[in-house]
Amino acid sequence: MAEALISADNHIDLTYCPADLWSSAAPAKWKDAAPRTELRDDGLHWVVDGDDKGMWNGVGPGFLKYNKGSFAHVDEMKEAGFEWNYFPGAKPRPTTPELRIADLDREGVKAEMVYGCLMINHMIADRALRGWCDQIYNDWVADFAKRADPNRVFPLAIVPNHDPKEAAAEVRRCAKMGIRGGDLAFKHMVVPLWHHDWYALWEASAECNFPISFHSTGFQGTRAPNSPEMEKEYFTQYRLVRSALFQTDTMEVLVSLLASGACEKYRDFKFVLGESGVTWLPYVFDRLDTEYYDRATSLGFKMAPSDYFRRQGYVTYQQDKFLEPIIPLVGEDNIMWGSDYPHPDCLWPESGPILDQNLAALSPSVRAMLPTRRAFPKRKVSTGRFSGRALRSSIRSAATSSAMSQFILEMRRLIAKGMSHG
């Protein structure tokens, strides 16, 4: 029996946003720079700051057009009823309320936290435009959650990364709208994460009980393709490097945040490393604590840096083959599961059966950590990817799911509160 599922890492990408979300509201000065869609020969494309990014309603955040045989799981998603349509009038499943709820129901997910357009703040050079785009999205996604189901869909706001004071102001504004947390794009920030200018944001986060997430966006690598031609020729190799090292950038985020003293100064500040995985954390903890005592005790921390994570930090994982022995080193209350819907590598629509199968391989000590459980309907796990992955990843489970973190407990409290007033 798998536990009632709450996904701490689901998504709404730019590819699934309303085609006129920003263009319909853009003032004259940003008419050509704000994200918009343009109709091309093969359908609608997103244009951001003048650059053609690719297909509207494309395959995940990569703006790719669906091509059978390119991604095994994308083919399986299509066979399961997930459609990609690039033309005006289409209804993307992730941003059509009734379709999104139907997809949650299909895999037995009770509630979800939803990361937004993670790449917006990477794509737009103009800082003022970035901040405006963040606000437009946040207003829209708050309304979307209400239209979908506010007791099940919990969106994360996009937190401006161009100015810490504006970021703090947006946190307070979004908290008043009922949004429960936010995501800070950590690339192209005005100052590094370890800089004390960010204290304004951490203070607002603590004040509003508004956890700040940092979602991995892919390792760029020391050497990217030199030209579009090289990228096309070596697409598979380059994508493999980026994907296999996906979480690498999150290491710097964690160390920078702990080194900043944010957790020392603001005990009520909570943070989440989204889609970061878990098994790398003990290595980083060891290195960080060692280097702190060797080189940085002048910072005056009252605890080892890694202990601040265990008190205030959380990570999400989708599949970590060697998770079980790592749990006591990280903290079972700090680990959250996420399905990653609707990304090409997500578990949808088989999260329940896959996790059911994997739970059987866990030791009694790990299974004992499980809080409330419920049985999923008996379903045959499909052949191919899912059965193979389940066998290869026998340790992946909901055992350390979001139910065990304060972050998710708060969400469950809100769910229960909403249901009691329904």
Identify the pLDDT of residue 189: 85
Q: Angle 156-346-255 (CA atoms, 0-180°, nearest 5)?
A: 55
- Tell me, yes or no, whether 413 lies in a domain: yes
Per the structure, the complete domain to which residue 284 belongs is given by 5-20+94-215+247-420
- Tell me, yes or no, whether 130 lies in a domain: yes
Residue 118 burial (10 A CB sphere; 0-12, 13-18, 19+): buried
Query: Cα separation of 130 and 53, whole Å?
Result: 17
Task: Walk across the sheet containing 153-155 and list its strands.
Answer: 5-11, 109-115, 153-155
- Tell me, yes or no, whether 372 lies in a domain: yes
Residue that is written with structure tokens 């909901």 in the block:
398
Number of independent structural domains in the chain = 1
Beta bridge partners of 187: none
Report which secondary-structure segment, H or E, holds 184: strand 182-184
- Tell me, yes or no, whether 10 lies in a domain: yes
Q: Residue 128's domain is classified under what CATH number? A: 3.20.20.140
The rounded Cα 358 to chain-centroid distance in angstroms is 23
Residues 280-283: contacts with CB under 8 Å, at least 24 apart:
280/247, 280/251, 281/254, 281/309, 281/315, 281/326, 281/329, 281/330, 282/326, 282/329, 282/330
pTM: 0.85
Identify the pLDDT of residue 271: 98
- Tell me, yes or no, whether 66 lies in a domain: no
- Tell me, yes or no, whether 74 lies in a domain: no
pLDDT tens track of the chain, all 422 residues? 345 789 999 999 999 999 999 999 999 999 999 999 999 999 999 999 999 999 999 998 889 999 999 889 999 999 999 999 999 999 999 999 999 999 999 988 999 999 999 788 889 999 999 999 999 999 999 999 999 999 999 999 999 999 999 999 999 999 999 999 999 998 888 899 999 999 999 999 999 999 999 998 766 665 678 888 888 888 888 777 777 777 788 999 999 999 999 999 999 999 999 999 899 999 999 999 999 999 999 999 999 999 999 999 999 988 777 788 888 899 988 999 899 999 999 999 988 777 766 556 566 666 555 432 222 233 233 323 322 222 222 223 333 333 334 444 544 444 444 333 33
Identify the pLDDT of residue 133: 97
Query: Cα separation of 201 and 207, whole Å?
Result: 10
Query: Cα separation of 298 and 399, whole Å?
Result: 39
- Tell me, yes or no, whether 75 lies in a domain: no
Report which secondary-structure segment, H or E, holds 274: strand 271-274
- Tell me, yes or no, whether 52 lies in a domain: no
Give the closest residue to 156 by CA, choosing from 266, 277, 9, 309: 9
Identify the pLDDT of residue 118: 78
- Tally DSSP H helices, then E strands, for the chain: 17, 12
Identify the pLDDT of residue 419: 35
Query: Cα separation of 71 and 76, whole Å?
Result: 9
Over the Cα atoms of the chain, what is R_g? 21
Identify the pLDDT of residue 128: 95
Q: Angle 335-339-341 (CA atoms, 0-180°, nearest 5)?
A: 140
